[in-house]
Each structure stands twice: as structure tokens, then as C-alpha cells.
Structure 1
Amino acid sequence: MSGAAISTTPEPIPEFKQVLGHPRPLWMLFMTEFWERFAFYGIRWALVLYIVAQFYDGSGAGEAPANRLYGAYLALIYAASLFGGYVADRLIGPQRSILIGAVIMSAGLFMIAIPNEQVFRIGLATIIAGNGLFKPNISTMVGKLYPLEDPRRDSGFTIFYMGINAGAFVAPLLTGWLAEHTFGGSPDMPAYKVVFLTSGVGMLVSLVWFWFGRRQLGGVGRPPEGAEGRTRSLWVAVGTIAAVPLVYFLLTIDAGVLAWILGLLFVALCVLILTEGVREGAVQRDRALAMLIIFAFNVLFWMFFEQAGSSFNFLAQNIVDRDLSGWIFPVGWFQSVNPIAILALGPVFAWLWVRMGKANPSIPRKFGLGLIFNGLAFLLLMFALSSLVDDAGKIPFWTLVAVYVIQTVGELCLSPIGLSMVTKLAPVKLVGFGMGGWFLSTAIGNNLSGIFASHVSGEGGMTVASAHAGYTFGFWILIGLGALLFLIAPLINRLMHGVK
């Protein structure tokens, strides 16, 4: 594809009005992402449960295929970011990419409310195609609000990450309540249709919010020089819609085959980023290599973290004791534990990274901490499933809540720092593409998460034994990788040439 030439130097940063110590547009991007994440997390808790209830008549045999489809859906959500980053970098800029993506995502969310399996999968494919244009580019624009060496940069990304999780906190509570109390829904059979419709409305709010708020950005995120007309935007919209059948096909193939496809894409991305790094000099080459090494560890973090939308839902439904003095805690509400923990702990981490100054752990060691805390969450599940199971085959309510909180600590060590890392280490001409690479590594992890979750559920549905075996495996992998990353952190730091 041809594209307008892009400067090898960063875009000049306008003089933004400061609000609460950060550029004013950060708060507009915060709210845009809040509503997009509301839409995303509004359906996240319901997808695998809906697939089993609607298309497998509630049979436990549907859990494994539901997990694999969910993993493929998440994987393609993130993989599409690779192409969305390229489109923004070379064709139409982040602002227009976000607008087009929001429109297409909204359409997909309304489509999955139709109770037909083919239409449901086409709707998922439409969401994926639109999200590819939205997801990498709004994160990239946060990085464009700050000079490269601005000490507020990590703090700004953590604040932005709180916007993500504010939407993620509200969405399951609202959609879960609506599913059980409207359209004839009940705790035994939620009205999933209202979940999907409510999420579609949330995506429309995100679109409108950005449409009016983008004036605050000035020139940040505008189309590349020579591409200011709207013809390219029209072609991008048409091309994105035309890609939906391909995405639909990828959703239907075997998860193992999809893993190979994503792996090949990742290898191609590594070659492209390293080639550009070499062109920009030895320092940028080394930084790109450091970034790609961390991407590899990122794969395994998300493989186990993303059980939240798959096997943890079946764990909550089948094995966790949700009876709280006669009131049954909704399965979907467990999804709000992680974001509320982030809202509580996010400001602490934002303050901590600044407060620690020179003692602030390096990026590789923050990633190592993320893996270790994720592993400790699985250690708690191992203990609960081996020592705390009651006569009814249930584990205590508090254990799954604690698992989400422990995972949150690991996530805060890794995920917002990863977004910031890409904007610091990626070759200047490929920052958006580098952000797509970050999401591609997450995509591979998410696809593997679906495969892993399908093994946890087994052929007939999750049992205490199958869950214990699967989560024990997850613990040892995460602890081992975290320790390895701590050991090789000095080598990665040398490759980063002073980037903190």
C-alpha cells in the first residue's frame, strides 16, 4: 500500500492547557476510552455463558468450544490492532481511524443481539474489524501528548488505564443487573440480548464523545501530510467492512491453526520493526530488540490472565459458592472486581512510580513482577481447589474475589507500563505499528488462553479436578517466567540505552 511520507522526527507537541497536572486532551481520551471499554466489558462476562446457553442448550459439552471461540475473538480483537496501527501511521491518521472504527464496532454490537449463530459470529467479526482501527490509535495518541522524556508519561498512561477500568467496572454491574431484571431475564437465565444492546449504546456514546472532543487535540493525530482529503478515509471504511468475511473465517477455523497464523504475523512484525530499527541506527535497533523480547513474555502473561472471560466464568458458575446469606451473587459481577481494584490501586501505582525516583524498578522487572503476581493468584486457586472444597463441591466466594485482586496487582505492574514502553522504544516511524505489535503479542496470549481454558473445562464441563490440574500448570509457568525475566533484566536494560 502506498502512503504519504512520514517525518522521521516526532510530531511537534502543541502547548496544551493543563488540567490536574496533565494535558487537557488526556481527559477527553480518558472518557472516550471509558465508553469504548464499557461496550467491550459489557459483553465480556456474557459471551461464553451465552454461547453455551443459546447454541448448546446449556450442556457442559459446550464449554470447551465456547472457550475456544472466546479466545479466538479476543485474539483477533488484538491482532486487528496491528493493521489499524499501520492504517493510522501511513494512510489516514489516528483521529479518523478511531471515528471509523467506532461506527463499525457499534454495528457489530447490535448484530450479536440477534439470536442466530451465524449472525452472532458475523457480529463478532464486525466488532473485531472496527476495534482494529480504534484500539491501538487511542493509546498512541496518549503518548503523543507528552515529550519523550516527560516524567509524567507513565503517570499519564496509568490515569488513562484507569479510564479503561472505570468503564470495565460499571459495565458488568449494569449489564448484569439488566440481564436478570429486564426482558424476562432471571438469575437462572439472564436476558443476554439486553447486555449486547446496552453495550452497543455505550459504543455510540464513545463515538459522539470523541467526535466533539477531538478539537482539543489540535494537530495531534491528524492525517499524514498529503492525505488530508476524505477519499482515503472512505476507502479505509470500505476495506474494513470488506475484511469482515475474512475475520469471520478466522473465527471458524481451529484455534491451533489460528495460533500458527498469529505466530507467523508476529515473526513478520519482528522483522519489520528490527529492519526499521537498523535503519535508524544502533541505539534504535537495540531498543526495538528489547521491546520484542518483552513482547514474548507478554504473550504468556495474557494467556493466563485472560481466564477471566472464559474459564473463571465457568468456575464462578459451577464451583464457587455464590450464596451470600440467601442472595445469589451474579456471575457477571465478578468481572467488576478487577476494575474496581485498579481504580483503588491505580492512583497508588501512579504515585509510586514517580515517588520512587531512581529506585523505580526497570521496565523488565516491572514485567517480571506482573508475571509473579499473576502466578500467585493461581497458587491461591490451587490451594482452594485442593483444601477448601465443601461437601457440595464448592470453594468459598472470597477466593475468586482475591484471585482477581492479586491478578490486578500484576496487571498494574505490566499493562499500563507496556503501553508507555512502546511509545518510548518503537522506531519513530512505526510507533502506531509498534502499538499494534504490542496488541498482537496480547492476541497470541488470548488465543492460547482459549485453548488453555478448553482443557480446564475438559470434554464434559469444568470439574474441581480439571480446574485444579489446569491452574497448577498455570502457576508453575508464570512463576518460572517471572524469575527468568528478573535474571535477564540487566541485559534488557542495556539494550534500552537509558529508557526508563
Structure 2
Amino acid sequence: MNIRKQNSFFLLCFFEFFERFGYYGFSYTAILFFMSQYGFDFTEKQAVLLFGGFASLTYVFNAIGGYVADKVFGIKRTMFLGAIFLLIGYFSLALSPYFVSIDNYVYISLACIIVGSSLFKPAPTNLISRMYTDKLKLDSVYTYFYMSINLGSLSASLLIPVLATKYGYTAAYGVCSVGFAIGILNSILSYSSIKNIGNEVDFKNMGYLKTILIVLVFIIAIIGLSIILQANDTINYILWFGAGLIFGVFAFQIYVEKDPSSRKKIVAAIILLVYAVLFFIIYQQKSTSFFLFNVHHVNLNLFGYSVNPQSIPGVLNTAGVIILSPILALIYTKLGAKDFSLPFKFALGILFCGLAYGSMFLACMINDPTAKVSILWEVLAITVFFSAGELLISALGLSLMAKLLPQRITGFAMGTWFITSAIGIKIGTTIAQAVSSGIQYDESKGFDIQMTISSFHKYQELFGYISLVAIVFAIIAFVIGKKLNKMIED
């Protein structure tokens, strides 16, 4: 990696770090925030449902951001516009305790984050794909980039839940805002390192009128999304429309693509995306089911220290990813052309996820429902198994889009990965909602014995079913792996 590419890459990693710091800082505290008087006084089921809708919309609109970057506004301008909306969203959330009486205030803040993320999120990966023409290096590069994402997540999981608990949501989300402002400032000061990277639209002059119109369109979108967030059925319709749009575009690309090998690669990408949906169904449990399981059923004492339940999934997951990322990147680099195939990595990733939930199912099997489960079971499940699975699927999904899909739709292709994430997240939320409590939960009192036993068995069944489904799908993926790899390599 030459010095110029290195500076460009680190700038994008630094920007992504603070974007993820803000997003995960909010995500790790969102459910309790929605259940608080400053949110909506929701039950667990209502809070999980809203968080799932927010998270899925945050991802599904990234395809639109990819199109805007490719065809309308340019990658870099789109990235900076998204950053501004994100900063507004987090800062307004920080002020939410002072505006609790204003109808839809929090929904508008959430909508700002959704729009900002849709514009920002596809951009760094899009720029990176244009920096590196050697596709054999992309797995290694994207794995390091994914490590920067998880460093942001780890920092947020260690800091933001503690701030929210001790000092309130204004302090917690205020820190998210300040962090993101630092990311924006650094990117402006170091802009010269990415000045010559971009697509054709990036290097065209953008008139003031067109810029104003684009900004107005997204402000209108924020208002619309603040309403949609309150209508779960509408969110479901949007997601299924997004799924139909993806496969429609892919079908059209297969039809117009004259090269047979390129057509096979597009078909292979579709099959692997189906597996990605399964992964994100499993992934969503980390922020919902795992978190609520921690609140009700896990001994939060670790080596004499009391651990914040909101921090556990994020800390364990990102610690595992940070430890494993350089190891995998080194393996990919050493193997070079002999690297494991993408289908094999996906199959192995799904298998690891199955083992993660299988270990939690085992923990429940050998534990008394009225007693607390040792947090060390989650260290094994999340830090080792789940983190390995995430690196093999989610981190390489970005690389998959760059490798398998035509360069002419790079922005939309990156957005496609996020729509896939959104569909899995929403389905995962529906599953998590089924085992969450439908009553107002008083943290100071907790559940009574009957509710504790009932809740424990629900989570035990959930972990068991997820493990079984994941392992079965992993076996199928191993069986069809050679055929898929041939489609990719031809």
C-alpha cells in the first residue's frame, strides 16, 4: 500500500470509526431509551419493534444513497451530506429529554439518522473499491476496514451505556455528536488525500440550485420517515419492495449482460445474499434477545466487576472481531490466489453462528431457570463463535459485492448488501419480539418467579431453534459450495 493510498484509506477508516461510534452508541442504549420516560414509555415488545424498524430502515435506504452517489451527487458529496444529517440526528437525540412534550420529536431525530446513514454508509466502501484494482487484495483491505468499524463499536459499547446509566441520555448522545463532529472536521482537513478518488459525478461542478433541491428532497424524506417509523406494516411493505427491487435489478443485469461468466457471478451473488439474510436474522438477536437475556437471566458480575447489560453483546462481539480481524487478514494475504472460496467462507460463517447459539442453548439446558447464567458462556458464544462468523460473512459481504457485480452498478451493489441486512434485521426483530415481555418492566423489581421461568424457557427455545436452523443451512452451503465457486470462478 503506497503512502497516498494509505492516507486515503486511514481517513476513510477514521471517518467510519466515528460514524459507527455514534450508531452503535445509540443502538446499545436504544431499547432502554424507548422504554424510558424520555423515549416513549414502551414495553419491551414495543421497544424491540421500534428498534427493529429503525435499524432496518437505516440499512434499506442505503441502496438509495448508493444511487445518489453514483448518478446524482457524487460519492464524496453524498458522504459529507450524510454526515451532516447524522450529526443533526444525534445532537437532537441528546436534547430529547428537554423536548419530551413535543410530538414526534424523537421520531424526527431517528429519521435524520436514517437519512444520514443512507447517504453516508455506502460511500467509504465505494471509494475503497475504486482505490484498489487488485481484487485479490480486497478481502484483506475490507477486513482491516471492518476492524475500524468494530473499534468504533467497541468504544461506543464501553462508554455510551455507562454514560446513559450514570449521567443520562443527554450526556450519552452528546458524546456521540461530539465524536462525529470530530470525524467530519478531520475529513475536511485531510480532504486532499481523497480529492482525486471518486466517480465521474464527483468531478463535475454541482450548481447551487441542484444542491438545494437535493437537500430539500432529503428533508422531506426525513418528515416522511418520522411518520413511517410509527407504522410497522408500512416498514414491512418498504422492505419487501426493496427486496423485489434488488432482484428486479439483478434480473435486468443478467438479461443485459452479454458475458456468460458475468451472468453466473450475478446469480451466485443472489444465492449468497439469501444466506446473508439468514446471518442478519441471527445478528439482530445480539442487540435484542441477547441484551434482554442479559437483563433478566445473566450474572453480570465478571471477576468482581458489575457489567452494564447494554454493553455486554457489543463489547464481547467487537473484542472478538478486533482480535480475529488481523489474523484473518494475514491468512487471506498469505493464501493469495489459494484463498478459501467465498461460498466456503459463507458456509463456515453460518456454522460458527450456529455453534454460538448452540453454546447458549447448552448453557440454558444445564442451568436452573431461576438462577443466573454465567457471563462466561457469552464470552464463548459471542467473542469466539459469533465474531468469527461475522467476519466470514458480514465483513466479506462488501468484498463480495465488489467482486461479483459489474463496476457500472458499484454504488447500487453496495446498497444491495445493506438492503439484505435490513430484511434479515427486520425478520430477526420479529423473532426477538416473540420472546420479549409485553408488560412495563420495572428494572428495580425485576420479574417474579413465574415470569422468570417462563422467560428463561422462551430464550432457551430461541437459542436452540436458531442453532439448529443455522447448522442445517451451513451443511447445505457446504454441499453446494463447489458448484457456487465454479460459477464465481468461470
- Does 331-340 or 458-467 show the bigger shift? 458-467
3-state secondary structure, aligned to 2:132 = coil
Matches of 2:303 and 2:72 in 1, distance apart?
A: 58
2:197 alignment partner, SS class? coil
Between the aligned partners of 1:234 and 1:207, the Cα distance in structure 2 is 21
Q: 1:458 to 1:177 in 2, by over 3 A?
A: closer
Deviations 1:11-47 (A, max 9, x none): xxxxx8437xx64311111111011111111111100
- Corresponding residue for 2:87? 106
Q: How far apart, in 1, do the equivalents of 2:82 and 2:395 lie? A: 22
**Which residue pairs with 2:158 in the alignment?**
173
Q: Which amino acid is the alignment partner of residue 296 of structure 2?
A: N
The answer as to whether partners of 1:56 and 1:62 remain within 8 angstroms in 2 is no
The residue number in structure 2 matching 1:82 is 63
Task: State the Cα distance separating 1:458 from its structure 2 match.
Answer: 4.6
Distance 1:304 1:203 in 2: 29
Match of 2:476 among 465, 475, 484: 484
Match of 1:494 in 2: 486
1:468 aligns with 2:460: yes
Whole-angstrom distance in 2 between the partners of 1:236 and 1:292: 31
Shifted more, 32-41 versus 61-70: the winner is 61-70
The equivalences for 1:384-423 within 5 A come to 384-389=363-368, 392-405=370-383, 406-423=385-402
Matched, 1:376 2:376: no
CA contact (8 A) 1:42 1:196 kept: yes
Give per-residue Cα distances to partners, 1:32-86, cap 9 Å, x unaligned. Answer: 101111111111110001112337897xx71111111111111001101010000
In the alignment, structure 2 segments of 5+ residues that lack a partner are 442-451
Partner of 2:51: 70
Deviation at 1:110, TM superposition (A): 1.6
> How far apart, in 1, do the equivalents of 2:301 and 2:481 lie?
45
Q: Which runs of 5+ in 1 are unaligned?
A: 1-15, 183-190
Q: What's the CA shift for 1:100?
A: 0.2
Show the counterpart of 1:134: 120
What is the CA deviation profile of residues 213-240 of structure 1, one whole-angstrom value per residue up to 9, with x for unaligned ones? 2321232125517842243333222211
Cα distance, 1:486 vs structure 2: 1.4
1:367 is aligned to 2:346: yes
Q: Residues 285 and 351 of structure 1: is their aligned pair in 2 closer, same or farther, counting only changes over 3 Å?
A: same
What does residue 447 of structure 2 align with? Answer: none
Match of 1:307, as an amino acid?
A: Q
User: 1:6 — aligned with what?
Assistant: none
TM-score (norm 2): 0.90
Whichever residue aligns with residue 476 of structure 1, its letter is L
- Preserved contact between residue 273 and residue 430 of structure 1 (Cα < 8 Å): no
Structure 2 match to 1:5? none
Q: How many angstroms apart in 2 are the aligned matches of 1:469 and 1:395?
A: 15
CA distance in structure 2 between the aligned counterparts of 1:359 and 1:219, rounded to whole angstroms: 33
Hey, what's the Cα distance between the residues in 2 that align with 1:325 and 1:157? 35
Aligned-pair CA distance for 1:491: 2.2
Contact 1:458 1:466 in 2 (8 A): no
Q: Give the aligned partner of residue 248 of structure 1.
A: 226
Matches within 5 A, 1:74-473: 74-113=55-94, 114-115=96-97, 116=100, 118-147=104-133, 149-182=134-167, 191-221=168-198, 224=201, 227-231=204-208, 232-254=210-232, 257-281=234-258, 282-324=260-302, 327-334=305-312, 335-389=314-368, 392-405=370-383, 406-460=385-439, 463-473=455-465
Q: Distance in 2 between matches of 1:102 and 1:197?
A: 16
Q: Is the 8 A contact 2:282 2:428 kept in 1?
A: yes
Q: 1:67 to 1:154 in 2, by over 3 A?
A: same
Contact 2:25 2:156 in 1 (8 A): yes
Distance 1:327 1:159, change over 3 A: closer
Name which of structure 1's ranges 414-423 and 485-494 shifts more when overlaid on structure 2: 485-494
Measured after TM superposition, the shift of residue 87 of structure 1 is: 0.3
CA positional deviation for 1:150:
4.2
Amino acid at match of 1:456: V
Contact 1:99–1:211 under 8 Å retained in 2: no
Q: CA deviation at 1:324?
A: 4.0
Please name the residue that 1:32 is paired with. 15
Counterparts in 2 of 1:314 and 1:303: CA distance versus 1, 3 Å:
same
Secondary structure of the structure 2 residue equivalent to 1:152: helix
Residues 292 and 233 (structure 1), Cα distance of their counterparts in 2 relative to 1, 3 Å cut: farther
8 Å Cα contact 1:17/1:23 also seen in 2 = yes
Letter in 2 for 1:211: I
What is the CA–CA distance in structure 2 between the aligned matches of 1:325 and 1:400, rounded to whole Å?
14
Seen in structure 2, the aligned counterparts of structure 1 residues 363 and 325 have a Cα distance that, compared at 3 Å, is closer
Deviations 1:357-389 (A, max 9, x none): 454221011111111111111101111112123
Distance 1:307 1:234 in 2: 40
- Determine what percentage of the aligned residue pairs are the same residue: 26
Equivalent residue number for residue 13 of structure 1:
none
Corresponding letter in the other structure for 1:205: I
Offset at 1:280?
A: 3.3
Secondary structure of the residue aligned to 1:308 is coil
- Quote the Cα distance in structure 2 between the aligned partners of 1:272 and 1:56: 39
Whole-angstrom distance in 1 between the partners of 2:164 and 2:238:
36
Partner of 1:12: none
1:258 CA displacement: 2.7
Q: Please tell me the residue identity of whatever aligns with 2:57.
A: L
| Separation in structure 2 between the aligned mates of residue 251 and residue 285 of structure 1, nearest angstrom | 37
What's the CA shift for 1:302? 0.6
- The question of whether the paired residues in 2 share the 8 Å contact of 1:92 and 1:227 is answered with no
By how many angstroms is 1:181 displaced? 3.6
Contact map agreement 1:311 1:453 (CA 8 A) in 2: yes
| Preserved CA contact (<8 Å) 1:94 1:223 | no
Contact 1:310-1:453 at 8 Å conserved across structures: yes
**Contact 2:54-2:229 within 8 A present in 1 as well:** yes
Q: Does the CA-based 8 Å contact 1:92-1:223 persist in structure 2?
A: no
**1:316 CA displacement:** 1.1
**Distance in 2 between residues matched to 1:226 and 1:347, nearest whole Å:** 35
Aligned to 2:24: 41
